[in-house]
Amino acid sequence: MTGKTRCIRAGSIHPLSGAFLTAPPRGVSFACSPDFGSLVIEATTTQLRKTALNSVHRRMGAKMVNFGGWDMPVEYSGIVSEHLATRTAAGLFDVSHMGEIELLGPQALDLAQFVTCNDAAKLAEGQAQYSGLMTSAGTFVDDLLVHKISAENYFLCVNASNQDTDLDYIRGIGHGRFNALVENAGERYSQLAIQGPKALGILRRFTRDPIAALKYYHFLFGEVDGISALIARTGYTGEDGFEIYFAPEHSEKLWNALLDAGSPEGLLPCGLGARNTLRLEAGMCLYGHEIDDTTTVWEANLGWICKLGKGDFLGRDALVAQKEKGSRRILAGFEMQDRLIARDGYPVLAPNRDPMEHKIGNVTSGSPAPFLKKNIGMAYIPVESSAPGSEIHIGVRAQKAAAKIVPLPFYRRPR
């Protein structure tokens, strides 16, 4: 996509919900990043938050956007080059905008169990799990990572745009019901993600801790370049890698050290644009696109994080009922069959002989896949239309573009 950034006015597709806008919400404008290809929400009435690396990103010439109320880099050298570097070498991401919440006290586990759908009781100390923060209807308040630090300390990593809502929500649920403190820990942490096949080799130069022995979704407390840190073998790219949590005052030192050490091996600084295309190739959900407070774990193909047998939790009854009845729609992946690109919010059409094809869904995420060299996307469609190989059409402006359903994820890293 080329040309100047433009405002999206009435008659446009909302970037998160896919809804057709008759007028922009008060205090919000919509802009399109020229090379990113995805719509960006710009809150015009609030002060943007900044990570500790904001001035570094600007000195490096990163293209900056408003992402969930944060001034964040969307790209440095280009989304494609950053995407490919992460797949083939390594990428370094500032993800300090993510929120951190700690549950502390004798009933920290009980609170975590009640508000999330996965089974936190199965976690060992030093282990993390992907989960959903649930509504009473069995839909998503957010998706998150739950880390077990100790029997009375659970560390949650939540989405940037939802962190204040999540904090208030968990506090409201826990107040007077669970003997646990819900603490906003976000001010205490910066977070860097180093991802890709060379991530381990680069990071291990800076620590004596046994990070090579860490299993996927496990973490330890140690030091990186002499800086105390929580080092987790987690990520949002589909690659091996690490997410490092540490005090914000060390951000520039650690960023520069990793960048200097990794650059000769092909590591690139990466923005949120590449993070989005990487997670899409890996078939990972993004809150506000694939999951929100209207979608359930069954519909989102996330049944593996829903443990009905653990006991009562928010939304359990609704999820039991839906599982027994069956879902009417399901999240499916598709590949375009020509060169047209399915963008977020585009309509999904059921092909038939009637020239007036009927709409069966909307694209939740869609873009070129730089590593796979295909145009891909995800969409909620009727279960009966979701079998791999099924044909669908995507409404691309005034055209009907052919696509076919394919299994998720689109990409799996070599083992």
Segments in 97-238 forming alpha helices (H): 108-115, 163-174, 199-203
Alpha carbon 221 to its chain centroid, in Å, reads 24
E-assigned strands of 171-328? 181-184, 190-195, 219-224, 227-232, 241-246, 268-270
| In the predicted structure, residue 8 carries a pLDDT above the cut 90 | no
Decide if 181 is inside a domain: yes
**What is the dihedral sign for C-alpha 196, 200, 205, 211?**
positive
Q: What's the whole-number mean pLDDT along residues 179-201?
A: 98
pLDDT tens digits, one per residue of 27-53? 333 334 443 444 344 443 468 999 999
Write the CATH number for 408. 2.40.30.110
Co-location of 134 and 148 in the same domain: yes
Burial class (CB in 10 A: 0-12, 13-18, 19+), 77: middle
Average pLDDT, the chain: 90
Q: How many Å apart are CA 233 and CA 127, to the nearest integer? A: 10
Decide if 199 is inside a domain: yes
Q: What is the CA radius of gyration of the chain?
A: 21
Q: Which long-range contacts (CB under 8 A, 24 or more apart) does 47-56 make?
A: 49/97, 51/94, 51/96, 51/97, 51/190, 51/248, 51/251, 52/96, 52/190, 52/248, 52/249, 52/251, 52/252, 53/94, 53/96, 53/190, 53/251, 53/252, 53/255, 56/251, 56/252, 56/255, 56/256
Q: What's the whole-number mean pLDDT along residues 130-148?
A: 98
pLDDT tens digits, one per residue of 235-291? 999 999 999 999 999 999 999 999 999 999 999 999 999 999 999 999 999 999 999
Co-location of 202 and 248 in the same domain: yes
What letter would DSSP give residue 211?
G
Co-location of 227 and 275 in the same domain: yes
Write the CATH number for 67. 3.30.1360.120
List the domain range (segments joined by +) for residue 216.
47-96+189-281
Decide if 254 is inside a domain: yes
**DSSP β-bridge partners for residue 317:** none
CB atoms within 10 A of CB 26: 7
pLDDT at 351: 83
H/E element, 378:
strand 374-382
Contact 203, 214 (CB under 8 A): no
Co-location of 76 and 158 in the same domain: no
Taking alpha carbons only, the member of 91, 107, 96 closest to residue 51 is 96
Number of structural domains in the chain: 3
What DSSP string describes 64-100? EEEETTEEEEEESS-HHHHHHHHHHS-EEEE-TTSEE
From 188, 221, 243, give the residue that closes a domain. Answer: 188
Co-location of 52 and 200 in the same domain: yes
pTM of the full structure = 0.89
Q: What's the whole-number mean pLDDT along residues 197-205?
A: 98
pLDDT at 398: 85
Q: What's the whole-number mean pLDDT along residues 54-76?
A: 97
Decide if 34 is inside a domain: no
Contact 305, 132 (CB under 8 A): yes
Co-location of 222 and 143 in the same domain: no
pLDDT band at 352 (very low <50, low <70, confident <90, very high): confident
For 2, 71, 85, 273, 318, the CA distances from 37, given in Å and listed in that order, are 9, 18, 19, 9, 37
Decide if 316 is inside a domain: no
pLDDT tens digits, one per residue of 277-308? 999 999 999 999 999 999 999 999 999 999 99
Co-location of 130 and 256 in the same domain: no
From 252, 281, 310, give the residue that closes a domain. Answer: 281
Contact 371, 237 (CB under 8 A): no
Q: What's the whole-number mean pLDDT along residues 309-330?
A: 98
Decide if 114 is inside a domain: yes
pLDDT at 20: 29
Co-location of 218 and 109 in the same domain: no
Q: Pairing between strand 347-349 and 241-246?
A: unpaired
| In the predicted structure, residue 7 carries a pLDDT above the cut 80 | no
pLDDT at 9: 30
pLDDT band at 125 (very low <50, low <70, confident <90, very high): very high
pLDDT tens digits, one per residue of 94-110? 999 999 999 999 999 99
From 152, 167, 188, give the residue that closes a domain. Answer: 188
Q: Token pair 């280009």 is at which residue?
A: 78
Write the CATH number for 169. 3.30.70.1400
